[in-house]
Amino acid sequence: MQTTISQRELQVLSLISLGLPYKAIASNCGITMDTVAKHLRNIYRKMGVPNNAAAVAFALRNGLIN
């Protein structure tokens, strides 16, 4: 991991791991869908992964989410 994952990014990633759509994640977090997408792009960059599935797998392997 290049940079520390923020608490908000971990929250978004955790909700992605539950299979929630971006709209539900945005509503749950009180942010826009564009902000959800921005957080995910940042997560991909920091983890060096290409998509949601790879990000969730990385996070599970490294104990970032349960």
Q: For the chain, give every domain's residue range.
A: 7-61
Secondary structure of 6-61 in HEC code, one letter for each residue = CHHHHHHHHHHHCCCCHHHHHHHHCCCHHHHHHHHHHHHHHHCCCCHHHHHHHHHH
In CATH, what class is 7-61? mainly alpha
Neighbours of 25 (CB within 10 A): 23
- Is the pLDDT at 57 greater than 90, yes or no? yes
How long is the chain?
A: 66
Read off the pLDDT of each residue in 7-12 and give the average, rounded to a whole number.
Answer: 97
Condensed to tens digits (0 to 9), the pLDDT of residues 24-38 reads: 999 999 999 999 999
